[in-house]
Amino acid sequence: MLNISNCLSLDQKRILITGGTGSLGRQLAKILVKLNSTTRVIVLSRDEFKQHEMQCWAQANGWNERLTFFLGDVREYDRLRRAFYGVDYVIHTAALKQVPAAEYNPFEFVKTNVMGAQNVINAALDCGVKKVVAISTDKAANPINLYGATKLCSDKLFVAGNSYSGMNGARFSVVRYGNVVGSRGSVVPFFLHERKKGILPITDDRMTRFWITLEQGASLVLNALDRMLGGELFIPRIPSMRISDLARVIAPECRQEVVGIRPGEKLHEVMIAMDDGRQTFQFDNYFVIKPLSSPWREDWSALKGRPCPPDFYYGSDNNTEWLSDEQLTRMIASLDLPEAQKWAKERGR
């Protein structure tokens, strides 16, 4: 994954993170306050308790003076406009994400993921923000569930936002990646917990997934913030793994029980659908889907990107890079989770 140490000039910059108390938001804030002593980070989120925890964490590390906290919701445009005042860059991570909850509460997901995206775009345009990076998901590529559909709509809104900003206004880009190892709702904590029962439920033994660490995800976002032209969608080149292999590495002593794919779930993840292949450029560590139309008229090939074949498809099933058992073991052992640390100690890691 890309090195962020020297790629982004953050001197005296103010960076706001929506959903900033989530896993990615915390990781981004940690990197940003370490990276440059004059960077100011503004955290906007709905949960006052998580903000309190984050304030205590910042104070313990001597970062409290460089972090500002706003209680607010991306559904509320007026609050966003107040928070965005004087901000240089925005990283939009706030979203409702649970697939089953989206099917039961569709209007709530539309309000946050779609209307919230529109509010972020409008507030950025009205407040003179220079750059906005929005976080997407693999589920937005050929979506089959409501969550993925709302994130696809959000992606389209951010790309189109460039048409409203003018040549000197805000620029908007999107970052898309898949499962984050050990994140809330991830299968790794679930398997670590369930292994004590002697049986691990597997949705389908053919199922594959992309895998990325939280640190890699944050690195991709900050590099996108640095390199973005406006309107493009960044996708990392990351390895795949089989769910059955992950279960075997975590608990080789357990029996695997196939329980079937859940509603709204895919057998294989897709990051770049075939219809997007003709718009895709590949770089050493990532892909870029360029917008169908861009007011900037930039040449992505001039940035050392190579056009992908017209029928290019990037899925977790046709990936050229796969995680070995040893790589899976190292990734699990490195997680900052009590269950993972206990598991690693049992295996002498």
Percent composition of the chain: helix, strand, coil (DSSP 3-state, to 5): 45, 20, 40
Q: Which of 100, 97, 139, 92 is nearest to 116 (CA)?
A: 92
The C-alpha atoms of residue 340 and residue 331 are separated, in whole angstroms, by: 10
Distance CA 77, CA 123 (A): 7
Catalytic residue among 13, 30, 131, 139: 139
Rounded to the nearest 10°, the torsion over CA 58, 59, 65, 68 is: 50
- 251 C-beta neighbours (distance < 10 Å), count: 20
Q: Which of 209, 231, 233, 211 is nearest to 221 (CA)?
A: 233
Inter-residue contact 238 to 214 (CB < 8 Å): no
**Pairwise CA distance, residues 118 & 259, whole Å:** 39
Q: Go through the chain and tell me how many residues it has.
A: 349
How far are the Cα atoms of 236, 245, 254, 277 from residue 324, in angstroms, in the given order?
Answer: 19, 9, 19, 28
The secondary structure of 186-249, three-state, reads CHHHHHHHHHHHCEEEECCCCCEEECECHHHHHHHHHHHHHHCCCCCEEEECCCEEEHHHHHHH
CB atoms within 10 A of CB 62: 9
Q: Which residues pair with 200 in a beta bridge?
A: 256
Is residue 286 a contact partner of residue 226, using CB atoms and an 8 Å limit? no
Is residue 139 among the annotated active site residues?
A: yes
Quick one: residue 136, left, alpha or beta (phi over 0 = left, psi -120 to 50 = alpha)? beta
Place of tokens 């049992």: 346
Catalytic residues: 139
